[in-house]
A and B are shown apart, each in its own frame.
Chain A
Amino acid sequence: MPTANLKVWRGDDSGDYQNYQVEYGHGEVVLDVIHKLQATQAGDLAVRWNCKAGKCGSCSAEINGHPRLQCMTRMEIFEEGEEIVIAPLKTYKLIRDLVTDVSVNFEKAKTIPFVDLEKPAPGDVRRMAQMDIDRVQEFHKCIECFICMDVCHVIRDHPDNMDKFVGPRYFVQLAMVAMHPLDQHPKREMVAYGFGLEYCNITKCCTEVCPEGIHITDNAIIPLKERRVDELYDPLRMIGRALFGKK
């Protein structure tokens, strides 16, 4: 059996990396190896996981510097004997070992409005055409792994922006509501202020790392930014609104 040469972050903020050698079998993923490490050499190693199927979004970590899911990272992608650095998500407060406190995201979630559905015609039910919901369907795939938030330089490198910027995962959520075919929020309310769209410089790292393959930048952020331009920076629309009232 091949042996993995691991370097795993241990402890809290004042901790350090430790080296471990762990044997692994064919077809195993990083999370398997971490579990083996836990079972054989480091019984107190903290790691968060649930499904081992890339669907619960719990096992996010930084593997050789790449934010990704431990359960979806196959050992085959590494050379045998190569040093594999496994670190916790760096954007969040570390609790211990590979577990971070991602609760700041749950606060952000509260700032995204719920969809405000149009009333159905009297005697009818609410109806949506398939062609209208196809677009928002993509956003529902999000598994809340927060890898996109972790990689986003706006908060990763500048934690002081944390309060001004809801971040890519919540732009996806916002797009889901703002583009909902029956949502009746005024467009301005959904994009103009408070979410920090203007801080994103569309460098696309969130899209690169999303394990669900959501086109976060192209289909959520940029369309929201364009709506924001409609509301705030488009002189023709400003004149239109002044002449013909609010659109």
Chain B
Amino acid sequence: MVADAMSALQRRYGKTHRKDRWWVEPLLSGGGLAAFLLYSTVAVVVGPNWSYEVGPYLSPMFEPLIRPDWLPRWFSPGFLILWAPAGFRTTCYYYRRTYYRSYFLSPPACAVAEPAATYSGESKFPLILQNVHRYFMYVALVFNVLLWVGAVKSYWMPGEGLGIGVGSIVMTLNAFFLMMYSLGCHSLRHWVAGGLNSFSRTPIRRLRRKAWEIFTIANEKHRMWAWTSMIFVGLTDLYIRLVANGVITDIHTWKSF
């Protein structure tokens, strides 16, 4: 009964009285996400036909490179690893916020009525699956290490040795941004000490709290790192491909590519 009275009242009040441009944020972030999704899908699908490695560089979309002999040539090795970063970002608390707002309009913006008649949040299938986020986080931590290894290797040209190129710097930045994004993960923050009620009881707990404090710094800027790392993965991939396919030349200290 109370519910009826309230919704009747809301109908009277209208959808929203906000006069600011509340639709700009969901539109921009929704558009940004869509653009990245499109780019990364195309980048992975055309993988084998548009070279993604050159000299010591390898596109982060293919790191770690798993290319067994039995793999048909048309099948992009990107698909073998794509599930990990895709799952990590899809179930990330920040990305959830963003696509719930931009794509599900649930709600489109604060104090703007949402169109759906019923709502069950994350209590039912399929959205209940968001609870697996921490497992993607564990996998993402491994990917972080692999991307750092890739970044370090980008300073070593086989046959020539140590050197440096714009690509090495780009790959290092890429690994760094991904690390900052991953360290700010809410599940990681919970895992390292957030689940404790008392931090002070043992020396190990005090150490865990230190880590929690550090992760919290990254966590407070999780949104910024999410975007920076996402855009940069795309740019790194694009850069390496442009170099690999001879569209632009990489400035570097080696002679053989």
Contacts and interface: CB of A to CB of B under 8 A. Distances in A.
Asked whether A and B interact, the reply is yes
Interface of A: 13, 62, 64-67, 85, 87, 90-94, 104, 129, 131-132, 151, 153-154, 156-162, 178-183, 198-205, 208-209, 218, 222-223, 226-227, 229-230, 232-234
A159 B97 contact: no
B12 A223 contact: no
Given A162-B3, A181-B198, A226 B18 contact: no
B2 interface: yes
Given A204-B97, A208-B110, A229-B134, 14 more contacts: A13-B12, A65-B16, A131-B209, A156-B111, A157-B107, A159-B7, A160-B3, A198-B122, A209-B110, A222-B93, A226-B187, A226-B194, A227-B190, A233-B128
Contacts of A154: 119, 121
Nearest to B7: A159
Contacts of B194: 223, 226
Contacts of A179: 197
Nearest to B128: A198
Per DSSP, chain A at the interface is mixed
B106 interface: yes
Nearest to B12: A13
Contacts of B245: none
A15 B199 CA distance: 54
B195 interface: yes
B9 interface: yes
Contacts of A153: 106-107, 114, 119
B255 interface: no
Interface residues of B, number: 54
Among A91, A132, A151, A180, the most chain B Cβ lie within 10 Å of the Cβ of A132
B17 A13 contact: no
B101 A203 contact: yes
A131 B210 CA distance: 11
Interface string B1-33: 011011111101100111110000000000000
B17 A64 contact: yes
Nearest to B132: A233
B197 A203 contact: no
B120 interface: yes
Contacts of B189: 223
B131 A229 contact: yes
Given A65-B16, A203-B106, A93 B5 contact: yes
B118 interface: yes
